[in-house]
């Protein structure tokens, strides 16, 4: 599938779907996890699950950066935003994520100076335009966004900007996958690997999935046909009794990732011993913080944040959703107490979140129809 033209070809989708039917063994149930929220979105937008045989189940993984931020971190962000003179900057997606007592948007309504930015470089520009006020950037994201934060901090340091601080919530993709594979809750047959993260980390870091856990993985692009193709590749491996890392998205993802991006990340960040994930608890070596050389720009060192671990709200089952243990509509508050307009959990806030994808595409409470 090298020619992009073919991606516009619905007939090819039919061919792939037809071949997939021939790849699955009747009576065997296949559980494939799409790691990335972008894939979840594509799957429901284009009804990819409807093209699959009934015994192929797609479960949604932890790869939505907004969804995995725990309440305590939101509270810490809000506390920082209320510090005197602080200008607090973050991506728009973060504004509506509930903390234990409201959202950043609520804090803004209460008078905190909170500004949405498109890029960490916008936050740096705000810092340079307001030299007498501390500007905090609330950084979130997997390896897709972490290099951008790193390069921004590097530039701020080189330019001697003294009022720019970062509250780092960057996370890495491999540890939660390992945690899922180690968990007895869930038996997976294969993975649709995250496309954008892999442009940075490459495909090599996923090799442990076949070598240590014996599961196939195919790193996939975001076109509906990419996702379908990746499913085809995984099922082919299972049928042939192989398990390998395959790269469906090789036209964008190099095997070794982006060396420059990895280099800036390792210069600016270091691994935290552990980091809390929404609903998944603490996962060791899964989060990044600013390295020693950047400590004077680390908002968590320069300010004292509460740093309290807050349990997820009782009604919220985001943890189970993020681990693929339940489907969004199985959460008791889905679509009633929790909607994109008034989210209780993070998976409903970001459009990459599984709950929002189900809600927006009308998947309220039904199992897939049998094809």
Residue carrying the six token digits 């090819």: 12
Site for other proteins contains 130 (CB under 8 A): no
Site for ligand SF4 contains 338 (CB under 6 A): yes
Count Cβ atoms within 10 A of the Cβ of residue 160 and give its class: 0-12 exposed, 13-18 middle, 19 or more buried. Answer: exposed
- Minimum CB separation from other proteins for residue 107, in Å? 19
Segment contacting ligand SF4 by CB under 6 A, of 26-34, 46-54, 110-118, 339-347: 339-347
Separation of alpha carbons 315 and 317, rounded Å: 7
Give φ, ψ of 366 to 5 degrees.
Answer: -135, 145
Give φ, ψ of 130 to 5 degrees.
Answer: -130, 65
Separation of alpha carbons 36 and 41, rounded Å: 9
Nearer to other proteins by Cβ, of 92 and 307: the residue is 92
Closest by Cα among 138, 196, 202, 194 to 170: 138
Contact yes or no for 102/313 (Cβ under 8 A): no
- Minimum CB separation from other proteins for residue 172, in Å? 16
Give φ, ψ of 263 to 5 degrees.
Answer: -65, -45
Nearer to other proteins by Cβ, of 5 and 185: the residue is 5
Beta strands in 80-213 (DSSP E): 87-90, 113-116, 135-141, 164-170, 190-193
Contact yes or no for 312/100 (Cβ under 8 A): no
- Minimum CB separation from other proteins for residue 211, in Å? 27
- Minimum CB separation from other proteins for residue 73, in Å? 16
Q: Of other proteins, ligand SF4, none, which one does residue 205 interact with (CB within 5 to 8 Å by kind)?
A: none
- Minimum CB separation from other proteins for residue 54, in Å? 27
Please identify which residue in 148, 183, 285, 339 interacts with other proteins, judged by CB under 8 A: 148
Site string for other proteins, 101-120 (x = CB under 8 A): ---------------xxxxx
Give φ, ψ of 99 to 5 degrees.
Answer: -95, -170
- Minimum CB separation from other proteins for residue 91, in Å? 4
- Minimum CB separation from ligand SF4 for residue 352, in Å? 12
Dihedral of the CA atoms 12, 61, 89, 196 (nearest 10)?
-40
Site for ligand SF4 contains 333 (CB under 6 A): yes
Q: Of ligand SF4, other proteins, none, which one does residue 328 interact with (CB within 5 to 8 Å by kind)?
A: ligand SF4
User: Which residues, 203 to 232, sit near other proteins by CB under 8 A?
Assistant: 222-224
Separation of alpha carbons 349 and 19, rounded Å: 36
Site for ligand SF4 contains 99 (CB under 6 A): no
Count Cβ atoms within 10 A of the Cβ of residue 246 and give its class: 0-12 exposed, 13-18 middle, 19 or more buried. Answer: buried
End-to-end distance of the chain based on CA atoms, in angstroms? 25
- Residues touching ligand SF4, count (CB under 6 A): 14
Site for other proteins contains 329 (CB under 8 A): no
Separation of alpha carbons 219 and 201, rounded Å: 12
- Minimum CB separation from other proteins for residue 147, in Å? 6
Site for other proteins contains 341 (CB under 8 A): no
| Angle 6-12-17 from CA coordinates, rounded to 5° | 145
Please identify which residue in 272, 347, 350, 363 interacts with ligand SF4, judged by CB under 6 A: 347
Structure tokens at 70: 């725990």
What is the contact surface with ligand SF4 in residues (CB under 6 A)?
Answer: 316-318, 321, 328, 331, 333-334, 338, 344-345, 347-348, 355
What is the contact surface with other proteins in residues (CB under 8 A)?
Answer: 3-5, 7-8, 37-38, 41, 45, 64-66, 91-93, 116-122, 125, 140-141, 144-145, 147-148, 151, 155, 196, 199-200, 222-224, 251-254, 258-261, 263-264, 350-352
């Amino acid at each position: 599938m090298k020619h992009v033209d073919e991606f516009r070809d619905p007939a090819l989708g039919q061919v792939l779907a037809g071949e997939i039917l021939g790849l699955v063994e009747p009576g065997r149930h296949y559980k494939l996890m799409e790691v990335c929220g972008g894939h979840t979105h594509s799957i429901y937008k284009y009804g990819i699950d409807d093209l699959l045989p009934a015994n192929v189940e797609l479960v949604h993984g932890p790869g939505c950066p907004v969804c995995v931020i725990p309440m305590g971190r939101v509270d810490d962000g809000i506390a920082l935003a209320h510090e005197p003179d602080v200008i607090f900057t973050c991506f728009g997606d973060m504004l509506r994520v509930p903390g234990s007592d409201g959202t950043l948007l609520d804090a803004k309504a209460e008078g905190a100076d909170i500004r949405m930015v498109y890029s960490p470089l916008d936050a740096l520009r705000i810092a340079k335009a307001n030299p007498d006020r501390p500007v905090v950037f609330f950084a979130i994201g997997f390896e897709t966004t972490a290099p951008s934060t790193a390069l921004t901090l590097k530039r701020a340091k080189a330019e001697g900007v003294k009022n720019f601080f970062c509250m780092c919530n960057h996370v890495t993709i491999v540890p939660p996958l390992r945690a899922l594979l180690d968990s007895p809750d869930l038996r997976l047959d294969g993975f649709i690997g995250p496309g954008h993260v892999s442009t940075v980390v490459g495909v090599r870091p996923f090799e442990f999935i076949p070598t240590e856990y014996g599961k196939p993985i195919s790193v996939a692009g975001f076109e509906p046909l990419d996702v379908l193709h990746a499913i085809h590749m995984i099922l082919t491996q299972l049928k042939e009794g192989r398990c390998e890392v395959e790269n469906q998205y090789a036209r964008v993802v190099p095997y070794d990732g982006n060396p420059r991006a990895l280099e800036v990340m390792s210069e600016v960040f270091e691994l935290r011993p552990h980091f809390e994930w929404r609903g998944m608890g603490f996962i060791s070596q899964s989060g990044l913080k600013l390295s020693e050389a950047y400590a004077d720009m680390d908002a968590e060192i320069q300010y004292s944040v509460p740093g309290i671990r807050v349990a997820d709200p009782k009604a919220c089952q985001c943890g189970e959703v993020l681990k693929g243990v339940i489907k969004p509509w199985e959460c008791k508050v889905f679509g009633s107490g929790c909607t994109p307009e008034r989210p209780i959990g993070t998976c409903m806030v970001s459009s990459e979140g599984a709950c929002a994808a189900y809600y927006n595409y009308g998947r309220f409470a039904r199992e897939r129809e049998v094809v």
